Amino acid sequence: MATQVALLAELQRVDQSLKCNTEAVEARRSALAQLDAQIGAQREQVAAAETAMAELERRQRELDAELTDLESKMKERRMRIARIRNDKELGVVRREIDILKERTGAAETELLALMEQVEQHRTAVEAARQALAAIEAARAMEAAELDATVARVASSIEEDRSRRDKLLSTVDGDLHRRYELIFSRRGGVAVVGVRGGTCQGCHMNVPPQLFNQIQRNDQVFLCPSCQRILFWDQQDEASKS
């Protein structure tokens, strides 16, 4: 019958495999969540760029209409001026034409500046859309990776869980609680081998008296330095020598 320490060592192998597999899935899930957040933010940027662009285009249409209107008014005044015989009336129409010219000049200046802005915004909108497409492509790849990872580790996780349940039914409850505590505090390594009189967890020498006791493998001993559960692996020692 396997000793409690040997059972713990086996439990640790299962727990490490479980930890590794669940962490692999978790890492994929969190990468996917991060990409989802990036997509949300980028969609907002695209929408903002499109809104700004629409506003500029609206103003552009307004100016186009204004210029058309000014042009027809100008035409009308010029036709009228040809028929005017009266100096006073002529002066009035000439002033009107001057004002129309001024307004036309202002509208044209604004339109030119606006067209330049529209060009810049078109580039910005396009860049924002491309960035969004790139993140969406990365997200699709990450989702496929997650599926592949889940498919790869699912059966292994299931096997490990049932193996773990079996082992736990044979491990002493207090010892298991102690093991869990060390496992979580010592980076997933609670049971360590002793090789050549050295703890393989912290690489400190184990006192010879303790080493002799450990070799009997019938009691649970903790490393005096790192407080991990020490396990003497006979095969380990044999393969070394």
Q: Kindly list the residues in this chain that would bind Zn ion in the complex (CB under 5 A).
A: 199, 201-202, 223, 225-226
We find the least distance from the C-beta atom of residue 222 to Zn ion, in angstroms, to be 8
* Two tokens, residue 39: 């997509």
Q: Which is nearer to Zn ion, 14 or 199 (CB)?
A: 199
We find the least distance from the C-beta atom of residue 160 to Zn ion, in angstroms, to be 26
Q: Which is nearer to Zn ion, 167 or 199 (CB)?
A: 199
Q: Which is nearer to Zn ion, 25 or 226 (CB)?
A: 226
Cβ 93 vs Cβ 80: under 8 Å:
yes
Q: Which is nearer to Zn ion, 67 or 202 (CB)?
A: 202
DSSP sequence for 125-169: HHHHHHHHHHHHHHHHHHHHHHHHHHHHHHHHHHHHHHHHHHHHT
- Measure CA of the first residue to CA of the last residue in the chain; give whole Å: 26
We find the least distance from the C-beta atom of residue 139 to Zn ion, in angstroms, to be 44
DSSP code at position 230: E
Cβ 193 vs Cβ 215: under 8 Å:
no
We find the least distance from the C-beta atom of residue 226 to Zn ion, in angstroms, to be 3
Q: Which is nearer to Zn ion, 4 or 200 (CB)?
A: 200
How many other β-carbons are positioned within 10 Å of the β-carbon of residue 83? 7
We find the least distance from the C-beta atom of residue 210 to Zn ion, in angstroms, to be 11
Sheet-wide strand order for 191-195: 198-199, 191-195, 229-231
Q: Which is nearer to Zn ion, 49 or 201 (CB)?
A: 201
Dihedral, 136, 138, 142, 148 alpha carbons, nearest 10: 100
Query: Looking up tokens 């039914």, which residue turns up?
Result: 169
We find the least distance from the C-beta atom of residue 11 to Zn ion, in angstroms, to be 19
